[in-house]
Amino acid sequence: MKRTLILILIGFALALWPLGGYQEGIVILMCINCIAAMGVSILTGFTGIFTLGHAAYMALGAYTTAILTVRYGVHWFPAVIAGGLMAVIIAWLIGIPTLKLTGDYYAIASIGLGEAIRLILENWQSFTRGARGFPGIDPYTTRTMAVVIFIVLAILMFNLLDSRLGRELRASRDDGTAASLMGFNTPRTRMKALVISAFFCGIAGSLLGGYMSFIQPSMFDMMKSTELTAVVVFGGLGSMSGTILGSAAITLIMEYFRDISQYRMLIYGLLLVVIMVFRPEGLLGSHEVWELLRWRRKNNA
């Protein structure tokens, strides 16, 4: 398939392009942010469930992987998968009572849940070392590894959205009642979306731990959660390629302005305001990038 091929080509470019150490770091960070944003995108953009607590799933992934690799000497690969799975399990447990909430109510609940998980990590000193953070993580996240995982997950995600499940998610986003009438078990549909999104965020967290070598609960606070959702809105709700482009763009822009660090949030805020004013539907709206290119070609012909 053409899309898969292009993604693989992008992957090769990202992984093999000769870069200095600093630029390599940016590429890794971009991949991590994109993975987390894809996770939030499937939930918020495609299933219509607004979340403001997904940094917590990143934290769960990061801590699971860190503890497994440092304390128990597990190889990073199974540990990263375990990080994703831990996020899945917790998301599932949390989802049972909270996914009955819809719209704004879920968003508010998710803030509480996100903060609760962060506070548990912060206060469970004996296990997580609390607010002092968790040092000494083996820097297993290399550029190649981050890029490969990102591309694999992206291919997976795009195929998922094209499948029956993708239609199921969109249908229950657009009209939950009508979706029920088509024979969807809509509560289960919402659960599937939450669990998949938690998996992506968990993996992203695990990679972040391996990149930074050090994690602490405050890295996964509400700021981070808000940022994840903001990036998805910025890229366009209901557009996975928009999410990836938006996330990559924001990572790059934020890096570019690192010199004036205290003004970075100002620029970030300005950027969001500008896009919301001039393109309230986000960078790509609810369309994928190839759909837009196809229309353009058709209109020119």
Partner 1 sequence: MPKILLEAQDIHVNYGAIQALAGFSLKLMENEIVSVIGANGAGKSTFMNALMGMVKVSKGDIFLDGYPLSSKNYKVVRSGLALVPEGRRVFAPLTVEENLRIGAFTRKETADLQEDYDWVFSLFPILKERLNQYAGTLSGGEQQMLAIARALMARPRVLLLDEPSLGLAPIIIREIFRELKRVNEQGVSILLVEQNARQALLLSHRAYVLQTGRLLKEGLSKDLLEDKDIKAAYLGQSA
Q: List residues near partner 1 by CB under 8 A.
A: 164, 167-168, 170-171, 174-175, 177-185, 238, 286
Q: How far is the CB of 191 from partner 1 (least distance, A)?
A: 14
Backbone angles phi, psi at 216, to 5 degrees: -145, 155
CA-based nearest residue to 46, from 196, 199, 208 = 196
3-state secondary structure of 24: helix
Cβ atoms of residues 58 and 204 within 8 Å:
yes
CA-based nearest residue to 88, from 193, 196, 189, 224 = 196
d(CA 68, CA 291): 43
Q: How far is the CB of 178 from partner 1 (least distance, A)?
A: 4
202 or 238: whose CB is closer to partner 1? 238
Handedness of CA 199, 128, 221, 143 (dihedral sign): negative
128 or 186: whose CB is closer to partner 1? 186
Residue 196: exposure state from Cβ atoms within 10 A (0-12, 13-18, ≥19): buried
Cβ atoms of residues 14 and 154 within 8 Å:
no
228 or 237: whose CB is closer to partner 1? 237
Q: How far is the CB of 231 from partner 1 (least distance, A)?
A: 21
Q: How far is the CB of 280 from partner 1 (least distance, A)?
A: 15
122 or 168: whose CB is closer to partner 1? 168
Contacts of 73 (CB under 8 A, 6+ apart): none
48 or 202: whose CB is closer to partner 1? 48
Q: How far is the CB of 38 from partner 1 (least distance, A)?
A: 20
Q: How far is the CB of 46 from partner 1 (least distance, A)?
A: 11
132 or 174: whose CB is closer to partner 1? 174
d(CA 294, CA 42): 23
178 or 273: whose CB is closer to partner 1? 178
118 or 190: whose CB is closer to partner 1? 190
CA-based nearest residue to 199, from 78, 121, 75, 91 = 91
Q: How far is the CB of 109 from partner 1 (least distance, A)?
A: 25
Q: Quick one: tokens of 267?
A: 């620029």
Q: Which long-range contacts (CB under 8 A, 24 or more apart) does 9-12 make?
A: 10/151, 11/147, 11/148, 11/150, 11/151
Q: How far is the CB of 45 from partner 1 (least distance, A)?
A: 12
